[in-house]
Amino acid sequence: MGDILNIPDKLFEKIVDAERAAVLTGAGVSAESGVPTFRGENGLWRNRRPEELASMEGFLDDPRLVWDWYDWRRSVISQIQPNPGHYALAEFDCVYDQFTLITQNVDGLHALAGARDPVELHGNIWHVRCLKEGTVRENREVPLSRIPPLCPDCNSMLRPNIVWFGEELDTDILKRAGLAAKESEVFFVVGTSSVVQPAASLAGLAQRNGAIVVEINLDRTPITESADLFLQGKSGEILPALLRMIVQARGYDDCG
Ligand code: OAD
Distance 176 CA to ligand 1 centre (A): 21
Q: Which ligand 1 atom minimizes the distance to the CA of 165?
A: 39
CA pair distance 81, 78, nearest whole angstrom: 8
110 an active-site residue?
Answer: no
For 208, list phi and psi in degrees, rounded to 5.
-65, -25
Q: Which ligand 1 atom minimizes the distance to the CA of 40?
A: 2
Pocket-testing residue among 192, 197, 201, 237, ligand 1, by greatest number of atoms within 8 A of Cβ: 192
Distance 145 CA to ligand 1 centre (A): 30
CA pair distance 154, 62, nearest whole angstrom: 21
Mean pLDDT for 131-141 is 97
Whether the per-residue pLDDT at 220 is higher than 90: the answer is yes
The pLDDT tens digits of the residues spanning 42-69 come to: 788 777 788 888 999 999 999 999 999 9
- The three-state (H, E, C) secondary structure of the chain, written as one string: CCCCCCCCHHHHHHHHHCCEEEEEECHHHHHCCCCCCCCCCCCCCCCCCHHHHCEHHHHHHCHHHHHHHHHHHHHHHHCCCCCHHHHHHHHHHHHCCEEEEEECCCCCHHHHCCCCCCEECCEEEEEEEECCCCCEEECCCCCCCCCCCECCCCCCEEEEEECCECCCCCHHHHHHHHHHHHHCCEEEEECCCCCCCCHHHHHHHHHHCCCEEEEEECCCCCCCCCCCEEEECCHHHHHHHHHHHHHHHHCCCCCC
Distance 194 CA to ligand 1 centre (A): 8
- Ligand 1 neighbourhood includes 33 CB (under 6 angstroms): no
Domains of the chain by start residue, with CATH: 2-35+81-122+169-249 (3.40.50.1220), 50-79+128-162 (3.30.1600.10)
The pLDDT tens digits of the residues spanning 68-120 come to: 999 999 999 999 999 999 999 999 999 999 999 999 999 999 999 999 999 99
Distance 166 CA to ligand 1 centre (A): 19
Catalytic residue, chosen from 86, 110, 122, 127, is: 122
Q: Which ligand 1 atom minimizes the distance to the CA of 39?
A: 2
**Confidence bin at 254 (pLDDT 50/70/90):** low
Whether the per-residue pLDDT at 1 is higher than 50: the answer is no
pLDDT of residue 73: 94
Give percent of the chain with pLDDT exceeding 70. Answer: 97
Q: Which ligand 1 atom minimizes the distance to the CA of 104?
A: 33
- Ligand 1 neighbourhood includes 161 CB (under 6 angstroms): no
pTM, entire model: 0.95
